[in-house]
Amino acid sequence: MKILVINAGSSSLKYQLIDMETEGVIAKGTCERIGIAGGKLTHKAQGKEFVIEKDIPNHTEAISLVLKELVDGEAGVISSMDEIDAVGHRVVASGEAFTKTTLVTDEVMKTMDEIAELAPLHNPAAILGINACRAVMPDKKMALVFDTSFHATMPDYAYLYAIDYDDYKQYKVRRYGAHGTSHKYVAGAAAEYLHKKPEELKIVTCHLGNGSSISAVDGGKCIDTSMGFTPLAGVPMGTRSGDIDVAAIDFLCKKKGMTMDEGLVYLNKKCGMLGVSGVSSDFRDLKAAKEAGNDRARLALDMFTYACKKYVGSYMAAMGGLDCIVFTAGVGENTPTIRSAIAGGLEFFGVKLDESRNNYRNDGTIHEISAEDSRVKVLVIPTNEELVIARETASLL
């Protein structure tokens, strides 16, 4: 069985064709600058890279171009579209409308339109991608795989905000979380690595990238997560503020003459590591700046690791114990100093890092970075969100 995984953004579209027998990637690529002059498709297959530079006016053209590449004489990996058994779409937000992977129907797409306002930066782009695929492959089965689904198991006291309960009921304002496919993947991979059943483990999963979120996974189920109604909440991120007193935003908006909409753009795009450091949102740049003596880069990194450590500690308390901490995503997989600042100094809680194990070069495999005698295992696990989307799609069929 072959599954095409699609991750559509407003001006980009990423794809992977996955063979479910081997769970290997047959081909993958990205369309960039959709709807903007200077479009580009980068397609990787059979160990080679193929680049097509041409304007891509919309998502339908992007999908058509991708399919053409997949069956192309030179760059192609399949002989016809019939070889694609189904398409799995990544969708950021499901609201309360969908709690699990869902087959695309007209009715489902109507609901998707209704809930698009829950993630105005992400869901409308996913809808463009889904509609484009439906236009180009009308007979193909398609699944929606939501970033929020893994968090649907949170208990009410964890997902609710302390607002008027009637407002929650009417407007569905609550914590939904994000990065669910990544948290699900690494929690499952950790259990497998430790030769345990997911039900036996209390895990804190740290997805640390440009966007970052931390989850408490108790017995295989997510019981809390740091992102909220949108991905703005939780730890400070590349350009997002993370948790902040809302009254401070009102104050700032008035002082800077910003509307609430502008305030939200500010919080999403100009804050976090970028805002604090004044250097960059990229953790590699921050590390270099800190090493060169830039104190605001040091401050940004300290704020990040301190916030992450507090989440790890609070989730340990929420679960009443801890068996494993997992680091994943761009920063979590590649930055020993960040892992050390978050998981170090927790010996009291049974977490003992081995710094020489922690200091390795990422080779795309699972690494155990806790000391031999650490009661809590600390693992670095390369995430694979596309594989979760493909697995979910396949299991729905």
- Contact assessment for residue 90 and residue 181, using Cβ atoms and an 8 Å cutoff: yes
Distance CA(103)–CA(261), nearest Å, equals 33
Min separation Cβ 275 and ligand AMP, Å: 15
Measured from the CB of residue 272, what is the shortest distance to ligand AMP in angstroms? 10
Smallest gap from Cβ 146 to ligand AMP, in A, equals: 19
284 binds ligand AMP (CB under 6 A): yes
Closest by CA to 44, choosing from 26, 24, 22, is 26
Which of 149-157, 276-284, 292-300, 347-355 is the region at the interface with ligand AMP (rule: CB under 6 A)?
276-284
Residue among 81 and 288 whose Cβ is closer to ligand AMP:
288
Q: CA-to-CA distance for 3 and 70, rounded, in angstroms?
A: 12
Alpha-carbon span 304 to 208, nearest angstrom: 10
Q: Using CB under 6 A, which of 283, 304, 311, 327 touches ligand AMP?
A: 283
Calculate the alpha carbon distances from 377 to 146, 173, 351 in Å: 29, 36, 7
CB 50 within 8 A of CB 43: yes
Please, which residue, 95 or 272, has the CB nearer to ligand AMP?
Answer: 272
Residue nearer to ligand AMP on the CB measure, 113 or 355: 355
Site of tokens 């929420």 = 318
Smallest gap from Cβ 363 to ligand AMP, in A, equals 11
- Taking CB under 6 A as the binding criterion, the range among 23-31, 109-117, 262-270, 282-290 that sits at the site for ligand AMP is 282-290
Minimal distance, residue 286 CB to ligand AMP, in Å: 8
Q: In 3-state terms, what secondary structure has residue 51?
A: strand
- At which residue do the structure tokens 């081997």 appear? 22
What are the Cα distances from residue 178, in Å, to 21, 90, 184, 228, 311?
28, 12, 11, 8, 15
179: which 2 tokens? 């990065």
Place of tokens 């795009």: 269
Sheet hosting strand 2-8, strand order edge to edge: 48-53, 40-45, 24-32, 13-19, 2-8, 86-91, 141-146, 102-103
Which residue's CB is nearer to ligand AMP, number 133 or number 289?
289
Is 157 exposed, middle or buried (CB count within 10 Å of its CB: 0-12, 13-18, 19+)?
exposed
CA distance 319 to 152: 17
Residue where the block lists tokens 């799609």: 393
Residue 340: CB atoms within 10 A of its CB come to 16
Closest approach of Cβ 193 to ligand AMP, in Å? 20
Active site residue 147: yes
The structure tokens listed for 315 are 């989730």
Q: How far is the CB of 57 from ligand AMP (least distance, A)?
A: 28
Q: Which of 102, 89, 97 is nearest to 130 (CA)?
A: 89
Of the candidates 153, 210, 268, 294, which one interacts with ligand AMP according to CB under 6 A? 210
For ligand AMP (CB under 6 A), the number of binding residues is 11
Footprint on residues 150-209 left by ligand AMP (CB under 6 A) = 209
Rounded distance, CA 344 to CA 356, Å?
Answer: 13
Instruction: Mark 211-250 with x for binding to ligand AMP (rule: CB under 6 A) and - for no binding.
Output: ---------------------------x------------
Which CB sits closer to ligand AMP, 42 or 210?
Answer: 210
Closest to ligand AMP by CB, 73 vs 364, is 364
Selecting among 147, 218, 224, 323, the annotated active-site residue is 147
Nearest residue to ligand AMP, using CB? Answer: 330
* Residues in region 293-352 near ligand AMP by CB under 6 A: 329-331, 334-335
Residue placing its CB nearer to ligand AMP in the complex, 177 or 209: 209
Judged by CB, which is closer to ligand AMP: 98, or 150?
Answer: 150
CB 274, min distance to ligand AMP, A = 10
Spatial separation of the C-alpha atoms in residues 212 and 232, rounded to whole Å = 10
Any idea which residues carry the catalytic annotation?
A: 147
Q: Give the residues lining the site for ligand AMP (CB under 6 A).
A: 209-210, 238, 282-284, 329-331, 334-335
